[in-house]
């Protein structure tokens, strides 16, 4: 049932006010008479509280006249329409009323039929405006769905070397974010299924990711979420004080831990950075969080690791003259950790991972010539096996001469290990991109076969492809150059144009045929994207063919 139009009456003459109130069948005409007042000053407070759709007001009143009341209503309730009643000869008032955008200007005395007709005209406009705004909101919501690319780019800018405060605020505003706060910190978070390959998603992981996404804007906008695809999610937290912020982050980590524990096959890890006082210092907390986050490759535990939990390790022992290969087990060189990183890591993390990996033994493994040579060769063979698993040849990772390895110092050894791991990840990404291309092609085929289904969405296509919605959105945009919703909308509009050209079906029938349950929204969307209504498009083609 459609919501009734609310009407409020302002008239200082009691007899006139009673006549208007009692001679019009408000309910019978689809209205709700919500209140009345004898002057503008009394009326304004009640109007703000009741938010009527239509205000009928006299011009000449004590304390506050109708024009001043109209001016206040236009400022505080721009969607409320005003009908002004005026005595004969008050044309100067009429001109000002027109400038204020009053909906109707009626001369007294006025009979109930004429007033009802005027109110009905305003009602029709109010309903039309309401429908148009509803359609616009739906359009903006749909067009904004599944387009995390801009947010991802913005986050990259946030943690870049020299972000400018004014630019950060402006870019955030475009994304409807307010990033002003006294203190900031962030959590790098990733959930993954224990029984899936490195770039696949399970329903359980998708559910956890959705829970993380639902934190967006919570706590009065103090939580912002940035999706990083296979790298996980960033939970940016803001507060008024360090204590306030720490409490907020503890609540979030506890909540996410509880969510993950409801699934038997989901593991999770979170790295938490340091608190900073400026939004332009987020690069610092991101770096510290990244170091903590790199420990997910070194631990089998579900946990949130704070930056402060690892900062004391920077003073690792340097006296390692008597290190032997036995010192590397079980807490030292673990090839399984390298293999995990080769499957799931990214090149931006490699140096951090290698540093944390080497430090995790509690001794400086690179101090010993023997250990360095062992690390280099074992990492080399580990990388070669991984490359072969990708279907690539061993020659992709060329072997070093023994003499070269013997001559490497600590830095050269570390840099070489980083370089061959990065090369392997580059090869993995090439294979992955090929798979992504196939997945997007399959998603497009699925979409084109099911475009008439009104429930078809990014979520349903992502579920079909066994990807998370955010990850599918990023991969889809990367492969096609446009968002999923834009691609689907364009496809549906082209199908609609075919039906308009080649059939005599009504607009409503075509709306259903191309996947829109609401013909009004279909017409709005068609005009928005094609620059004309469906009827104009059809008539234009008829004229062209004459």
Which residues are CB-contacts of 541 (< 8 A; sequence separation ≥ 6)? 500, 501
Q: How far is CA 310 from CA 85, 236, 247, 337, in A?
A: 74, 21, 20, 18
- Token readout for 225 is 């979420």
Q: How far is CA 504 from CA 494, 533, 535, 542, in A?
A: 16, 16, 11, 11
pLDDT of residue 54 exceeding 60:
yes
Residue 162 carries which DSSP code? S
Q: Residue for token digits 């191309």?
A: 514
Cβ distance 456 to 142 under 8 Å?
no
Residues of the chain with pLDDT > 90, as a percent, come to: 30
β-strand partners of 82: 55
pLDDT of residue 543 exceeding 50:
no
Residue 276 carries which DSSP code? B
Mean pLDDT of the chain: 83
Q: Residue for token digits 């332009």?
A: 280
Q: What is the pLDDT of residue 362?
A: 55
Could you tell me which of 50, 29, 231 has the C-alpha nearest to residue 113?
29
Confidence of residue 286 (pLDDT cuts 50, 70, 90): very high
Domains of the chain: 5-143 (3.40.50.2300), 154-315 (3.30.70.270), 316-450 (no CATH), 488-544 (1.10.10.60)
Q: In whole angstroms, give the CA distance from residue 290 to residue 270.
A: 10
DSSP three-state, residue 501: helix
pLDDT of residue 365 exceeding 70:
no
Q: What average pLDDT does range 484-489 have in this prediction? A: 91
Q: In whole angstroms, give the CA distance from residue 409 to residue 414.
A: 9
pLDDT of residue 491 exceeding 90:
yes
Could you tell me which of 395, 391, 331, 319 has the C-alpha nearest to residue 358?
331
Phi and psi (nearest 5°) for 192? Answer: -150, 155
pLDDT of residue 75 exceeding 80:
yes
Neighbour count for residue 22 (Cβ, 10 Å): 11
Q: Which range among 200-209, 232-241, 356-365, 385-394 shows the weakest confidence by mean pLDDT? A: 356-365
Q: In whole angstroms, give the CA distance from residue 78 to residue 468.
A: 41
Q: What average pLDDT does range 78-89 have in this prediction? A: 81
Q: Residue for token digits 């008050």?
A: 90
Q: Which residues of 75-101 are buried (b: 16+ CB within 10 A; e: fewer)?
A: eebeebbbbbbbeeebeebbebbeebe
pLDDT per residue over 298-357, tens digit each?
778 899 999 887 765 444 444 444 545 455 444 456 777 888 888 878 888 888 888 888
Q: In whole angstroms, give the CA distance from residue 290 to residue 352.
A: 8
Q: Which range among 4-18, 131-145, 229-243 shows the weakest confidence by mean pLDDT? A: 131-145
- Token readout for 354 is 């290698």
DSSP secondary structure, 195-245, as one string: TS-TT---HHHHHHHHHHHTTTTHHHHTEEEEE-GGG-EEEEEEESSHHHH
pLDDT per residue over 59-72, tens digit each?
878 788 788 888 89
Q: In whole angstroms, give the CA distance from residue 530 to residue 522.
A: 12
Q: What is the pLDDT of residue 296?
A: 85
Q: In whole angstroms, give the CA distance from residue 145 to residue 139.
A: 10
Q: What is the pLDDT of residue 144?
A: 58
Q: What average pLDDT does range 432-436 have in this prediction? A: 73
pLDDT of residue 370 exceeding 50:
yes
Q: In whole angstroms, give the CA distance from residue 482 to residue 149.
A: 10
Q: What is the pLDDT of residue 321?
A: 46
Q: In whole angstroms, give the CA distance from residue 423 to residue 440.
A: 26
């Amino acid at each position: 049932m459609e919501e009734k139009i609310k009407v409020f009456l302002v008239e200082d003459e009691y007899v006139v006010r009673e006549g208007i109130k009692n001679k019009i069948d408000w309910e019978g005409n689809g209205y709700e008479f919500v209140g009345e007042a004898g002057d503008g000053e009394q009326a304004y407070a009640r109007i703000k509280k009741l938010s009527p759709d239509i205000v009928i007001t006299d011009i000449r009143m004590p304390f506050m006249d109708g024009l001043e009341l109209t001016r206040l209503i236009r400022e505080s309730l721009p969607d409320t329409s005003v009908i002004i009643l005026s005595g004969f000869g008050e044309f100067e008032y009429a001109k000002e009323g027109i400038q204020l955008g009053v909906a109707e200007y009626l001369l007294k005395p006025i009979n109930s039929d004429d007033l009802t007709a005027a109110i009905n005209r305003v009602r029709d406009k109010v309903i039309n405006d309401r429908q148009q705004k509803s359609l616009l909101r739906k359009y903006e919501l749909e067009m904004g769905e599944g387009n995390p690319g801009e947010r991802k780019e913005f986050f990259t800018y946030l943690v870049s070397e020299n972000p400018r405060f004014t630019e950060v605020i402006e870019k955030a505003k475009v994304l409807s974010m307010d990033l002003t706060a006294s203190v900031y910190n962030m959590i790098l978070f990733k959930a993954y299924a224990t029984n899936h390959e490195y770039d696949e998603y399970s329903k359980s992981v998708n559910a956890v990711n959705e829970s993380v996404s639902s934190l967006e804007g919570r706590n009065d906008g103090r939580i912002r979420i940035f999706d990083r695809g296979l790298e996980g999610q960033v939970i940016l937290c803001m507060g008024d004080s360090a204590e306030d912020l720490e409490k907020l982050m503890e609540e979030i980590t506890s909540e996410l831990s509880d969510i993950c524990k409801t699934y038997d096959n989901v593991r999770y890890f979170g790295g938490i950075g340091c608190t900073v006082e400026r939004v332009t210092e987020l690069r610092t907390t991101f770096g510290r969080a990244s170091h903590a986050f790199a420990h997910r490759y070194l631990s089998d535990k579900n946990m949130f690791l704070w930056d402060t939990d690892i900062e004391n390790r920077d003073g690792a022992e340097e006296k390692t003259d008597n290190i032997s290969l036995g010192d590397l087990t079980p807490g030292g060189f673990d090839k399984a950790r390298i293999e995990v990183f080769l499957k799931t890591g990214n090149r931006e993390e490699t140096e951090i991972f290698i540093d944390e990996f080497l430090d995790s033994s509690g001794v400086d493994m690179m101090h010993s010539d023997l250990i360095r040579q062992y690390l280099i060769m074992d990492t080399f063979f580990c990388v070669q096996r991984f490359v072969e698993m990708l279907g690539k040849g061993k020659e992709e990772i060329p072997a070093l001469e023994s003499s070269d390895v013997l001559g490497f110092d600590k830095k050269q050894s570390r840099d070489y290990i980083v370089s061959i791991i990065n090369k392997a990840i580059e090869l993995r990404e090439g294979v992955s991109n090929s798979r992504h291309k196939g997945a997007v092609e399959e998603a497009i085929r699925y979409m084109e076969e099911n475009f008439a289904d009104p429930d078809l969405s990014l979520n349903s296509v992502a579920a079909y492809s066994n990807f998370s919605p955010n990850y599918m959105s990023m991969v889809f945009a990367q492969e096609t150059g446009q968002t999923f919703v834009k691609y689907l909308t364009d496809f549906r509009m082209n199908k609609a144009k075919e039906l308009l050209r080649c059939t005599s079906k009504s607009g409503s029938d075509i709306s259903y045929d191309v996947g829109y349950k609401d013909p009004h929204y279909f017409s709005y969307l068609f005009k928005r994207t094609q620059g004309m209504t469906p009827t104009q498009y059809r008539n234009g083609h008829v004229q062209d063919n004459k």
